């Protein structure tokens, strides 16, 4: 299985994890370890950067696991940029997952503010990974301003509804020059496998693992599904036939 | 100005009452199984008939809350700034006609109380006061917020209704959320309980969340004082208010609280008794109707109820609360607003949450936003 490159980093695992919603921090640590993930995202607003001894950060001190701070809670580009700058200072990482959702109900990303913030942060040298709607045009616009990857949603955050945006994800994957990470909505390992089969570079999963009865076992299930999906993609999935082949072909007359 | 009044006037108390008490079993089945719930479904779930499906409602509430909020509980504590008040509210310990010594914290005292809260691990704080505009008005609040902002990740206020400009000013100073309870949506009953003071103006209070929304605050907390009127009907109107606000101020989060009347110095007995079973039904109904709503549980509730509600719909809890100004260290004996029921320490509550398999969260915001 090929390795994934994003900016200057190389990942063996194509499964990224979110760290919210876990009932126990130890359970979260164990799930991350078992998933084999090398990139986990955490909300900056949850982290106490002042105290220097934040329990969430400590629980994420896992060998080979990189932190991807996110700007969840920010409602516009200005707030997101501020959060990213503080994270860079406190956590010594220039990676940031841009989450700008002014709508607190479905947490849908604001495309305009996200584009603005990506441009500002990329200019400042950040490795920006924006959470966005599955909008192929927006993805190309983000590439133009220097995004490191794009993270289109499969369905609203936490909805577990799977790849409702499948057709648009396929267009994004087809057109993209940067890695495509399917984020949000992945509710079951089969959804993750499907995303990988269509050629996504990685998936990000949170709720489905965090809220499972056994988060560790679920993390392993996702790990295996992501590997299976990626292997299938690389092996070359036979295209599914969209048109039935008639038993008396319409072109037979050419042979007469 | 945008106002809830128009929507509110489309509904009659008596007809809502009649509908709630005439809900049938078939209505409950239908409402429980619909994917998208409306105000009509909330009304059905409030009904005495729906209480027979409480186990199923509790299961749904648990699943929906876990999906949206995870297995987490956000903790906060109140900081009472003052018990001076020019209103007469016949159920409240701070009522003006209550002949007791009044106290408003000085800057030094505010910091002493803040220090005690920080030592408990509190990072989200709720500032509370009575209504005494001359001594505890906008200037006083701005001073308090300026003092506290560097020390807390999140500041909410539960004070007298302010103007839109004043809400904007406190928001700019660092306030994240405003809590304002209508107490009751029954206008005549409201007037009986609030005979004197600025608070006797029902309409001004009803428009308060609109002013908060227009000022752009991040969160608005609503509630009714359970015990003044029939909780089922009052809660329908409260939800109607939230529904209107959510559509009008779509960038704002909403939370709902469930103040049940508690004993306080010199107050009347509640007219309507709400049992634990009723409160659980109400919480489940809110959750099933509105999966995104924050549900806040105070120390008015008893230990047993609080222990169980952690995994049944609650998202936010106060703990170790003192409801009197200076209650933590400065003046523990001053007049309190109401008696708390759950007096366990912050550490004990964190441990209880942990035992249930949930993560107690002390910080989920940043004071630079």
Domain span at B105: 5-361
The pTM of the full predicted model, rounded to 2 decimals, is 0.86
pLDDT band at A204 (very low <50, low <70, confident <90, very high): very high
Q: Supply angle C-alpha B108, B109, B115, rounded to 5.
A: 90
pLDDT at A217 over 80: yes
CA-nearest of B340, B322, B339, B336 to B83 is B336
- Chain A residues with CB inside 8 Å of B358's CB? 23
User: Does some domain include residue B340?
Assistant: yes
Nearest to B363 among A22, A46, A105 (CB): A46
pLDDT digits (tens, 9 = 90+) for B130-168: 999 889 999 999 999 999 999 999 999 999 999 999 999
Burial code (b: 16+ CB inside 10 Å, e: under 16) for B311-326 equals: bbbbbbbbbbbbbbbb
CATH number at residue A88: 3.20.20.70
B292 neighbourhood in chain A, CB within 8 Å: 104-106
Distance CA B237, CA B241 (A): 6
Count of structural domains, chain A:
1
Q: Which residues pair with A62 in a beta bridge?
A: none
Contact B359 A47 (CB under 8 A): no
Q: What is the mean pLDDT of chain A?
A: 91
Q: What integer pLDDT is reported at residue A241 of this predicted model?
A: 53
Query: In this predicted structure, which of A122-136, B150-164, B263-277, B285-299 has the lowest mean pLDDT?
Result: B263-277
Segment B191-201 mean pLDDT:
90
Burial class (CB in 10 A: 0-12, 13-18, 19+), B230: buried
Q: What is the pLDDT of residue B334?
A: 84
Give the closest-approach CA distance of B178 to chain A in angstroms. Answer: 16
Of the candidates A82, A104, A160, which has its C-beta nearest B67's C-beta?
A160
At B265, the pLDDT band (50, 70, 90 cuts) reads low
Judge whether residue A24 has pLDDT over 90: no
In the predicted model, what is the mean pLDDT of residues B300-304? 92
Q: Which residues contact B158 (CB under 8 A, 6 or more apart)?
A: B78, B126, B127, B128, B129, B178, B179, B180, B221
Q: Positive or negative, the Cα torsion across B195, B196, B199, B203?
A: positive
Give strand pairing partners of B78: B126
Residues of A in contact with B69 (CB under 8 A): 21
Closest CA relative to residue B120, chosen from B169, B69, B78, B148: B78
Model confidence at A193: pLDDT above 80: yes
Gap between the Cα atoms of A236 and A233, Å rounded: 5
ipTM above 0.95, yes or no: no
pLDDT band, residue A215 (cuts 50/70/90): very high
Quote the CA–CA distance of A197 and A147 in Å, as a whole number.
24
B267 pLDDT exceeds 70?
Answer: no
Q: Are strands A202-205 and A15-18 parallel, antiparallel or unpaired?
A: parallel
- The answer to whether A158 is annotated as binding is yes
Average pLDDT over residues A78-97: 92
Two tokens at B261?
A: 């009347």
Rg (CA), chain B: 19
Helix, strand, coil % in chain A, rounded to nearest 5: 40, 15, 45
Sign of the CA dihedral running B201, B204, B209, B212 = negative
Per residue in B7-52, pLDDT (tens digit) is 999 999 999 999 999 999 999 999 999 888 999 999 999 999 999 9
Per-residue pLDDT, averaged over B330-341, amounts to: 85
- Does a structural domain hold residue B369? no
Mean pLDDT of A122-151: 96
pLDDT in tens, B203-239: 999 999 999 999 999 999 999 999 999 999 999 999 9
CATH of the domain at B277: 3.20.20.70
Instruction: List, in sequence order, the alpha helices (H) in A5-95.
Output: 25-35, 55-59, 77-91
Q: Any idea which residues of A carry the catalytic annotation?
A: 97
The nearest CA of chain B is from the CA of A165 a distance in Å of 20
- pLDDT over 90 (residue A90): no
- When pLDDT is cut at 50, 70 and 90, the band that residue B1 belongs to is confident
For A212-252, give the DSSP string: SSSHHHHHHHHHHHHHHHHHHHHH-PPPPP-SPPPSS-TTG
Query: Edge-to-edge strands of the sheet including A127-132?
Result: A151-152, A127-132, A95-98, A66-70, A39-43, A15-18, A202-205, A181-183
| Total domains in the fold of chain B | 1
Residue B367: its H or E element: none
Q: What is the pLDDT of residue B35?
A: 87
- Name the average pLDDT for chain B: 93
Q: Comparing A160 with A111, which gets the higher pLDDT?
A: A111
Q: Which of B251, B362, B365 sits opposite A73 (nearest CB)?
A: B365
Are residues B66 and A21, on separate chains, in Cβ contact within 8 Å? yes
**Tens of pLDDT along B240-251?**
999 999 999 999
pLDDT digits (tens, 9 = 90+) for A242-252: 556 666 677 77
Pairing of strands A4-6, B175-179: unpaired
Q: Is the pLDDT of residue A133 over 60?
A: yes
Q: Is B367 a member of any domain? A: no
Residue span of the structural domain in which A138 resides: 4-255
Give the C-alpha separation, B66 to B180, whole Å.
Answer: 27
SS3 A146: coil
């Amino acid at each position: 299985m090929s390795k994934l490159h994003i900016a200057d980093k190389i990942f063996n695992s194509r499964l990224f994890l979110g760290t919210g919603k876990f009932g126990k921090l130890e359970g979260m640590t164990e799930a991350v370890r078992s998933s084999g993930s090398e990139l986990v995202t955490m909300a900056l607003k949850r982290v106490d950067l002042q105290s220097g001894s934040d329990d969430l950060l400590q629980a994420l001190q896992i060998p080979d696991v990189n932190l991807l701070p996110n700007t969840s809670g920010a409602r516009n580009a200005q707030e997101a940029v501020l959060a990213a700058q503080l994270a860079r200072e406190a956590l010594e990482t220039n990676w940031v997952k841009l989450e700008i959702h002014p709508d607190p109900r479905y947490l849908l990303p604001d495309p305009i503010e996200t584009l603005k913030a990506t441009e500002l942060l990329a200019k400042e040298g950040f490795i920006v990974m924006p959470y966005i709607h599955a909008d192929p045009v927006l993805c190309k616009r983000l590439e133009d301003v220097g995004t490191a990857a794009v993270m289109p949603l499969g369905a609203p955050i936490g909805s577990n509804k799977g790849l409702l945006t499948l057709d648009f994800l396929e267009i994004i994957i087809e057109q993209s020059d940067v890695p495509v990470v399917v984020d949000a909505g992945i509710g079951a390992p089969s959804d993750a496998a499907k995303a990988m089969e269509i050629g996504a570079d990685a998936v990000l999963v949170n709720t489905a693992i965090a809220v499972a009865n056994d988060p560790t076992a679920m993390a392993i299930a996702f790990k295996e599904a992501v590997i299976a999906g990626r292997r299938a993609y690389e092996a070359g999935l036979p295209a599914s036939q969209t048109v039935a082949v008639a038993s008396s072909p319409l072109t037979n007359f050419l042979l007469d | 100005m945008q106002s809830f009044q128009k929507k509110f006037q489309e509904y009659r108390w008596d007809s809502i009452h009649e509908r709630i008490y005439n809900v049938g079993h078939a209505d409950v089945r239908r409402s429980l199984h619909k994917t998208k719930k409306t105000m009509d479904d909330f009304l059905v779930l409030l009904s005495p008939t729906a209480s027979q499906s409480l186990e199923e409602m509790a299961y749904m509430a648990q699943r929906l809350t876990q999906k949206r909020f995870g297995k987490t509980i956000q903790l906060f504590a109140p900081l009472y700034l003052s018990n001076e008040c020019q209103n007469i509210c016949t159920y409240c310990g701070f009522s003006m006609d209550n002949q007791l010594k009044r106290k408003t914290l000085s800057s030094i005292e505010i910091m002493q109380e803040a220090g005690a809260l920080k030592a408990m691990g509190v990072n989200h704080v709720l500032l509370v006061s009575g209504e005494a505009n001359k001594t505890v008005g906008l200037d006083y609040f701005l001073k308090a917020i300026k003092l506290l902002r560097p020390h807390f990740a999140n500041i909410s206020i539960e004070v007298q209704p302010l103007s839109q400009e004043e809400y904007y000013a406190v928001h700019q100073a660092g306030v994240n959320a405003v809590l304002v309870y209508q107490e009751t949506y029954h206008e005549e009953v409201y007037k009986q309980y609030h005979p004197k003071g600025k608070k006797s103006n029902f309409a001004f209070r009803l428009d308060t969340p609109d002013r908060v929304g227009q000022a752009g605050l991040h969160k608005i907390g609503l509630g009714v004082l359970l015990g003044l009127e029939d909780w089922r009907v009052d809660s329908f109107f409260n939800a109607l208010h939230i529904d209107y606000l959510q559509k009008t101020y779509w960038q704002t989060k909403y939370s709902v609280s469930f103040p049940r009347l508690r004993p306080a110095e010199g107050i009347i007995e509640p007219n309507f008794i709400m049992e634990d079973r009723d409160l659980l039904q109400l919480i489940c109904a809110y959750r099933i109707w509105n999966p995104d709503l924050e549900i806040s549980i105070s120390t008015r509730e008893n230990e047993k109820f609080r222990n169980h509600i952690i995994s049944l719909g609650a998202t936010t809890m106060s703990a170790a609360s003192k409801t009197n100004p200076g209650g933590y260290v400065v003046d523990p004996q001053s007049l309190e607003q109401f008696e708390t029921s759950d007096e366990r320490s912050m550490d004990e509550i964190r441990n209880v949450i942990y035992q249930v398999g949930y993560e107690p969260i002390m910080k989920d915001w940043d004071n630079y936003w």
